Amino acid sequence: MANPEEEVITIMKKTGIDLAATLPCDRIKNLLPLVSESFPEIRLTREENGVGICAGFYLAGGKPIMLIQSTGLGNMINALESLNVICRIPLPVLASWRGVYGEGIEAQVPLGAHLPTILEGAGLKYTIIDEAEKLPLLENVIRDAFENLRPHIALISPKVWEFSDCCAWEAVELPEKPEVMERICKFNIINETLKPVMLRNDAICAITSQLDDEITVTNLGVPCKELYACRDRELNFYMFGSMGLVSSIGLGLALRTEKTVVTFDGDGSLLMNPNALLEIAKEAPKNLIIICLDNGAYGSTGSQETCALRYIDLEIFATACGIQNTAKVNNTEGLREAFRKFRALHELSFIHVILKPGNTKAPNIPLSPEEVTKRFKNALTA
């Protein structure tokens, strides 16, 4: 008879899962090596990024799953509500349920004990699997998520693994850490200050004039309205919430399609979720171009100042994360030139666009999140 870890792998294969986004938990340490052996895997640095990556991967035709510790659900709820729920994007989540059974860490208890009530209050579907005999319910969780286009969370008790004879983690060979960690970072330092001369809308319209069959993902709020007004396309994915996940969604798309993916990210968005660039640089999809629209302000909420205005250079930060192809521009001609160059290069690229703060008056997008999602997915997978 298969041990519970192997049973999970069998269920994942049976239900057609083709990407696993993971963050470790001690209770599933024997499951994770089997996942790594059996499926393409994204090793996350934060749970919200997994929500975005899996959303993009699904929109391009894939079937992802997340495997995390249940504490991560506390970080994910807003992203699940404002992306998956309103856009009807499925996501099965296998959560190692801490804080309830045999818990030795006091800090795990408050969230873990209240988690079912929290999920009920948030209107998120969940299934409790509290013994090995109930593991077949995981198949129902996965199928329900994709059939009903919603998140569905499996809360899996440590009791499930309690008597397993699987010891896969012991067979994993840990890499030896070298005495000196070496990394090559190529910085293109320009000894001049690029003064902002254009608005974000100017930059968006400059890029849209160059688009052919590229996919775009655009930050929520006014940037989406500006893109819609500049050039609405079925291959535009407009975000309505889940700030900070623009480029994570772009990564998921880029991993599942051969089309070039262009993300219109912002300084406020990137600073809210800088982990995204670490995961993007590690995966290094050759078909992803990040357009960082940096006006030093939270443009959709009153132009409050961000740290990018005075304290951090986002191009240097992107390079430090491991993105080697970068450019800094401040006018439409330079932006178009950089975009054409990186599109032809066909490698992961980052364009840092220096902008003036300010919004262009644009009408609301006359499409619901669900309509945008359906239109985009149909255009991409037709």
- What CATH number did the domain enclosing 84 receive? 3.40.50.970
- Do 204 and 164 share a structural domain? no
- Do 226 and 352 share a structural domain? yes
Cα 298 from Cα 287, distance rounded (Å): 28
The mean pLDDT value for 134-150 works out to 98
pLDDT above 80 for 57? yes
Tell me the per-residue pLDDT of 198-244, one tens digit each, with 9 for 90 and over: 999 999 999 999 999 999 999 999 999 999 999 999 999 999 999 99
**pLDDT averaged over the chain?**
94
- Do 82 and 154 share a structural domain? yes
pLDDT above 90 for 156? yes
pLDDT band at 188 (very low <50, low <70, confident <90, very high): low
- Do 122 and 221 share a structural domain? no
Which of 336, 363, 361 has its CA nearest to residue 351?
336
pLDDT above 70 for 190? no
Q: Is residue 244 a part of any domain in this protein? A: yes
- Do 31 and 150 share a structural domain? yes
Tally of structural domains, the chain? 2
pLDDT value of residue 178: 64
Tell me the per-residue pLDDT of 202-211, one tens digit each, with 9 for 90 and over: 999 999 999 9
pLDDT value of residue 303: 81
**Residue after which a domain boundary falls, among 146, 168, 190:** 168
pLDDT above 90 for 63? yes
- Backbone CA torsion sign across 362, 366, 369, 373: negative
Strand-pair category, 64-69 with 91-96:
parallel
**Number of other CB atoms surrounding residue 164 within 10 Å:** 17
Between 311 and 51, name the one with better pLDDT: 51
Between 312 and 155, name the one with better pLDDT: 155
Residues 6+ apart with CB under 8 A from 19: 39, 40, 41, 42, 54, 57, 62, 63, 64, 65, 255, 256
**Number of other CB atoms surrounding residue 156 within 10 Å:** 31
Containing 69, the helix (H) or strand (E) segment is strand 64-69
pLDDT band at 283 (very low <50, low <70, confident <90, very high): very high
pLDDT above 80 for 183? no
pLDDT above 80 for 177? no
Tell me the per-residue pLDDT of 296-310, one tens digit each, with 9 for 90 and over: 888 888 888 888 888
pLDDT above 70 for 1? no
DSSP one-letter code for 62 = -
- Do 215 and 150 share a structural domain? no
- Do 207 and 98 share a structural domain? no
∠ CA 296-188-336, nearest 5°, is: 65
Q: Is residue 367 a part of any domain in this protein? A: yes
- Do 211 and 128 share a structural domain? no
pLDDT band at 382 (very low <50, low <70, confident <90, very high): confident
Q: What residues make up the domain containing 77?
A: 4-168
**Residue after which a domain boundary falls, among 150, 168, 186:** 168
pLDDT value of residue 2: 83
| DSSP-H helix ranges across the chain | 4-14, 31-38, 47-59, 71-79, 86-87, 109-122, 137-147, 200-208, 222-231, 246-256, 267-272, 275-283, 314-321, 332-345, 369-381
For residues 372 and 235, is the Cβ–Cβ distance under 8 A? no
Which of 96, 73, 249, 217 has its CA nearest to residue 151?
73
The mean pLDDT value for 51-79 works out to 97
- Do 146 and 26 share a structural domain? yes
pLDDT value of residue 189: 66
pLDDT value of residue 4: 97
pLDDT band at 381 (very low <50, low <70, confident <90, very high): confident
pLDDT above 90 for 328? yes
Residue in the block written with tokens 């979720």: 273
The mean pLDDT value for 275-301 works out to 94
- Do 360 and 266 share a structural domain? yes
Interhelix angle 47-59/71-79, nearest 10 degrees: 50
DSSP one-letter code for 362 = -
The mean pLDDT value for 132-144 works out to 97
- Do 163 and 16 share a structural domain? yes
